[in-house]
Amino acid sequence: MSVKSAKLTLEGIEYDFPIVRGSEGELGIDIRKLRDRTGMITLDEGFGSTGSAKSAITYIDGEQGILRYRGYPIEELCGKASFMEVAYLLIYGELPNEQQYEQFGGSVRRHTMIMEDIKRYYDVWPRHAHPMALLSSVVSALSTYYEDSLDPFDPHQVQVSIHRLLAKLPTIAAFSYKKSIGQPKIYPLNKLSYPANILHMMFAVPAEDYGVDPDVERAMDKLLIIHGDHEQNCSTATVRMVGSSQANLFATVAAGVLALWGPLHGGANQAVIEMLEAIHTDGGDLRKWVDKAKDKDDPFRLMGFGHRVYKNFDPRSTILREASRGVLDKLGKHDPLLDIAIKLEEIALKEDYFLEKRLYPNVDFYSGLILRAMGFPLKMFPVVFALGRLPGWIAHWKEMNDDPNTRIARPRQIYVGHNERKYVPIQER
């Protein structure tokens, strides 16, 4: 299509707005001057038709079920690359050569410990505290320890803070988990790979030897890659929103973690398992649960189904369906919830309701089953999602700060409240 501009007619006056074309041919109407020229704004609750940034990081075609990081298909990255390569790719734009990979990995490895003082934070939180709250609080607190690397426009400080955060997030996450189960915290072991170190800090105990199973390590790596980035999702949009005020990386990512926590976003993998458990406990009558999901008067939704962007299979769920079988086989576990999930998918995808609304399994439908097989408790699911999403958040924060056109994000609104009224003293109300 060679559309050059879009015309808008308001009260007989015609306005022209330029068209922006993306590298995959997507088109958008540039309305930055709309309010100046017409006095009007657009209203788009949930931002379904609003582009908030030009970005070169991730491409999604929701109609075709395509996901690419910096041009590389997710299937290829999951099959061939390591998470550290993908993190480098997302943040710096290109796959690293061997020397870059060594330097990057070496630097991240050197920063894995957190200040001993920070460990005391964990003592004051209740044992049942949700680890996402701890994760966000400690990430935010890093800004108080590393005041030497907070300037988002100093390239050296940016580099240092990125490496620090990538290195420390697994340690912070694992300490949160150990706190919740009352076990001693396990320090990072820098000879291990990034995913192996995560498993080690989460599951090792000082009293026993712990070896990371290479297949489980690979599955963890794949999970992290799959969650690496997903363009302008809720938490990344939050990161961009907070970062646009020129907040430092730690403060910005702390906000991203909190946005990810909700059940409609990163909390959905936890909600999927809770739903599958409820179905299992209820006797496994899948028909009943599918009907509940279709019932307009019932608030129940099939968790792990549907997506704002994918109107076809989420390519991540296809990869994870296979991976979940692999991990369960490898660990010699049989999980009745996997059987329920597979049958549920089969039944739902034969229903007009799901087909017409184009609701397919999303990334969360199978990721929870893998995490459960690995031994993660439900509350840790969104934490692992956050570990995977970190390079994406960093990449967007960096891309935004490197862009000279960035302005503070400040949407408008349509005010629908009271018109001016007079204050009434409390005794007269």
Q: In what order do the strands lie in the sheet with 13-21?
A: 5-10, 13-21, 27-29
Place of tokens 């991990």: 327
Q: In this chain, which stretch among 59-67, 216-224, 304-312, 417-425 interacts with ligand CMC, using CB under 6 A?
A: 304-312
- Contact residue for ligand CMC among 119, 292, 333, 357 (CB under 6 A): 357
Which of residues 174 and 320 has its CB atom nearest to ligand CMC in the complex?
320
Q: List the one residue from 363, 370, 374, 387 that touches ligand CMC (CB under 6 A).
A: 363
- CB 314, min distance to ligand CMC, A: 7
303 binds ligand CMC (CB under 6 A): yes
Q: Is 301 in the site for ligand CMC (CB under 6 A)?
A: yes
Residue 142 sits in the site that holds ligand CMC (CB under 6 A)? no
Both structure tokens of 27: 């088109």
Shortest distance, CB of residue 50 to ligand CMC, whole angstroms? 13
Measured torsion, CA atoms of residues 243, 248, 251, 255, in degrees rounded to the nearest 10: 10
| Known active-site residue 123 | no
Point out the residue whose Cβ comes nearest to ligand CMC: 306
202-210, 261-269, 273-281, 393-401 -> range binding ligand CMC (CB under 6 A): 261-269
The minimum distance between CB 425 and ligand CMC, in angstroms, equals: 44
Smallest gap, in angstroms, from Cβ of residue 357 to ligand CMC?
4
Among 247, 302, 320, 327, indicate the residue that binds ligand CMC (CB under 6 A): 302
Binding mask 387-406 for ligand CMC (x = CB under 6 A): --------------------
Amino acid found at 374: M
**Closest CB to ligand CMC among 17 and 261?**
261
> Contacts with ligand CMC: how many residues (CB under 6 A)?
20
Q: Which of 163, 230, 307, 396 is catalytic?
A: 307
**Surface-to-core class of residue 66, CB atoms within 10 Å of its CB (0-12 exposed, 13-18 middle, 19+ buried):** middle
- Least distance to ligand CMC from the beta carbon of 3, Å? 26
* Comparison of 68 and 316: residue with beta carbon closer to ligand CMC: 316
- Choose, by CB under 6 A, the member of 70, 130, 168, 307 that binds ligand CMC: 307
Of 268, 340, 371, 390, the one binding ligand CMC by CB under 6 A: 268
C-beta of residue 40 within 8 angstroms of C-beta of residue 28 = no
- Token digits of residue 203: 């599951």
| Residue from 185, 265, 325, 330 in contact with ligand CMC (CB under 6 A) | 265
Contact flag: residue 304 with ligand CMC (CB under 6 A): yes
Annotated catalytic, 280?
A: no
Interaction residues for ligand CMC, span 213-252 (CB under 6 A): 233
Verify binding: residue 362, ligand CMC, rule CB under 6 A.
yes
Region binding ligand CMC by CB under 6 A among candidate stretches 90-98, 100-108, 296-304, 366-374:
296-304
The amino acid that residue 308 corresponds to is R
Query: What residues make contact with ligand CMC under the rule CB under 6 A?
Result: 46, 233, 264-266, 268, 293, 301-308, 357, 359, 362-364
Residues catalogued as catalytic: 307, 364
